[in-house]
Amino acid sequence: MDQLQAMEIFVEVAQQRSFTAAGQRLGLSRAMVSKTIMQLEDKLDARLLHRSTREVSLTDAGRAYLAPCMATVSQAQEAARSVAHVAQAGAALAGPLRIQAPSSFGSAWLADAVARFSLLHPQLRAELFVDDALLDPIRHGFDLTIRVGGIPDSSALAMRPLAPCRAVLCASPAYLAQHGVPRTPQDLLSHQCLHFSHLTDGTNWHFQRGEGSGLEEMSVRVQAGFTANNGLVLQQAAKQGLGIVYSTTFLAWRALLDGSLVPVLAGWSLPLNYLSALYPASRQLSPKVRALIDFLVLEYQPVPLWDRELAAAGIV
């Protein structure tokens, strides 16, 4: 006799006050229900039910047994639902998951996060494409695209912010020792500037400081002495002393912490962008894409690690 099944049958009989009705509810014959109750009574060495031609009623022992029996059956059913939910979720988080991200962020941060996410879900086959081109996630068949700023105004795409993406100007100590430290944005006109070619406003760099009525804004169209479409390339050039680089804190944080790069014009702020997750709005968000987005939100919010480290060190 299956003890749990017998308890489940007993609970149903007690609630229905009928062997026949309980059997119909459980998909069992009346004879099977009656036989199981008799086996349960033999095992417990106690009569649980009064039988009559009209209905079934609980004995004193049956009433004492019913409450803990119901609790056990309920817990077993809840456990089964939990296992089914996990199994269903596990089955959902399987198959290919195509992700596209900028090469600098993809290399510096996202590759590590996707690897750890994949370890949690071994049935997934993650494909990470790093490319600084602003690829259309729908046309290129990506399940998820990570974008730094430049969010397209498109009803075909849905977006979820992941983290602030703060820009920072920095240069090597050697460069600043040789060429001097700029004090105002206008001073950049006499400096070698390293430019990221995917900035939406070209070589027109925007600055502001203060707030409210004291807000001061300034734009400078710099002369880019060196241009690249990859932030890592620009950072390496800056560390070699080639010039002042327009970078991001997620990319420059280690160099700023170890002193190989130092902030420039720290009293002025550059435009704030965001790291965002883009996905097709017309499709129902699949469990694996939703799970990855939730994972990345936990990774980078409310303040991402790179900004926490810089704040702790008192840098930018």
Mean pLDDT, each 10-residue run in order, the chain (316 residues): 84 88 85 88 89 84 86 71 52 84 90 94 92 74 83 71 90 96 94 84 84 86 87 93 94 95 93 86 80 91 90 87
Residue 107 lies in a domain: yes
Are residues 56 and 13 part of one domain? yes
Q: Is 158 in the same domain as 129?
A: yes
Q: Are 149 and 274 in contact (CB under 8 A)?
A: yes
Same domain, 209 and 285: no
User: CA nearest 218: which of 249, 172, 183, 180?
Assistant: 183
Q: Which residues of 236-252 are buried (b: 16+ CB within 10 A; e: fewer)?
A: ebbbebbbbbbbbbbbb
pLDDT score, position 56: 87
The answer to whether position 106 is within a domain reads: yes
* CATH number for position 224: 3.40.190.290
Of 236, 250, 259, 229, the C-alpha closest to 166 is 250
Give the pLDDT of residue 128.
Answer: 93
Same domain, 279 and 295: yes
- HSE, side-chain direction, 13 A CA sphere, residue 46: 11
- Predicted local distance difference test score (pLDDT) of residue 136: 72
CATH number for 82 = 1.10.10.10
SS3 207: strand
Q: Is the same domain home to 246 and 288?
A: no
> How much is the pLDDT for 22?
85
Q: Which residues contact 125 (CB under 8 A, 6 or more apart)?
A: 95, 96, 97
Tell me if 204 is assigned to some domain: yes
- According to the model, what pLDDT value does residue 133 have? 72
Q: What is the pLDDT of residue 67?
A: 83
Q: Are residues 62 and 142 located together in one domain of the fold?
A: no
Residue type, 26: L
The reply to whether 215 and 197 lie within a common domain is yes
Both 161 and 290 in one domain: the answer is: yes
- Residue 233, pLDDT score: 92
Q: Is residue 171 part of a domain?
A: yes
Q: Residues 196, 225: one domain? A: yes
Residues 281 and 260 in one domain: no
Tally of domains in the chain: 3
Say yes or no: 13 and 86 in one domain. Answer: yes
Residue that finishes a domain, picked among 91, 113, 138: 91
Record the pTM.
0.66
Q: Which domain holds residue 293?
A: 99-165+274-302
- Output the pLDDT for position 115: 95
